[in-house]
Amino acid sequence: MSFTPQFFTTAESLVDSLDKKLLVVLRDGRKIIGILRSYDQFANLVLQDSLERIYVGDAYGDIERGVFIIRGENVVLLGEIDCDVEDALPLRQLPIEDILHLQREEAEEKARKDKLRHHLLYKQGFSVDFADNDLY
C-alpha cells in the first residue's frame, strides 16, 4: 500500500504561507503585497507591512497600506514572492504621483479607444453594452 500525500484545496492550504511575503490580486484588480500573518476558514487574510502596487507599462509605484485585512471572497490570486527574483525584475520604480498620472493617462487612452470601437460596432449594427462592472 502506497501513501499519497494530501493536497488541501481549502483555506487550510494557507498554513505553509504564514509569515511569508505574498502577492494578492483582488477582484477589483488591485495588487497587494504583504506578510501573511493570519487567515481563517473563509480565507480572510491579514497582511502586515502591506503595500498596494500599481503597474503601468514597465514601471510601478507603491502605496503603503500597513496592516491590511482582505475578505476571502475578493481574492482572485495569491502567491508567494521570491525576493531574489523580485529584485531582478526589469521594472523601474517611480514616485506614486508619477505612476498615478501615467495610470490616468492610460485609462483615458483606453476609454477613447473603447468609445471609438463601440461607435464602429454600433454603426455596423451590433449592440454594445456600456456597463462598467466586474461581471462577478
Q: How far apart are CA 57 and CA 93, in angstroms?
A: 11
What pLDDT sits at residue 79?
Answer: 92
* CA distances in angstroms from 130 to 57, 89, 126, listed in the order given: 26, 37, 12
Look up the pTM and report it.
Answer: 0.77
pLDDT digits 0-9 by tens, 48-73 = 999 999 999 999 999 999 999 999 99
Q: Is the confidence at residue 111, as pLDDT, over 80? A: yes
**If you average pLDDT over every residue of the chain, what do you get?**
87
Question: How would you classify the pairing of strands 92-93 and 59-70?
Answer: parallel
The strands making up 21-26's β-sheet, listed across from edge to edge, are 75-80, 21-26, 31-39, 45-56, 59-70, 92-93
